[in-house]
């Protein structure tokens, strides 16, 4: 039987990593836009920035729903343990 507290740091890191990598793509894209101002690259980079923002929001919503479901399941299984 594994202790649940051992898995929490790993799950927390994974959750924040999934949410932050699209934000990193967005920041890189915004810096490229400033460097390459006025070039056809702007459309590509703007698409990358918007998609990074959408993906990060989707991952945050997914992580919140999964966390809520895990807590709800833990709350309902608590009385069974005795």
3-state secondary structure 30-71: HHHHHHCCCCCHHHHHHHHHHHHHHHHHHHHHHHHHHHHHHH
Confidence of residue 52 (pLDDT cuts 50, 70, 90): confident
> What's the CA gap between 67 and 30, in Å, rounded?
31
Average pLDDT over residues 1-26: 65
Around 68, how many Cα atoms within 13 Å sit in the side-chain half-sphere? 6
pLDDT top residue among 38 and 24:
24
Average pLDDT over residues 54-64: 79
Overall size of the chain counted in residues: 82
């Amino acid at each position: 039987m594994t202790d649940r507290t051992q898995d929490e740091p790993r799950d927390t890191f994974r959750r924040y990593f999934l949410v932050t990598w699209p934000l990193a793509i967005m920041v890189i894209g915004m810096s490229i836009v400033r460097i390459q101002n006025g070039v056809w690259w702007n459309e590509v980079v703007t698409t990358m920035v918007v998609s990074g923002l959408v993906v990060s929001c989707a991952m945050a919503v997914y992580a919140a729903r999964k966390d809520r479901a895990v807590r709800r399941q833990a709350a309902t299984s608590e009385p069974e343990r005795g």
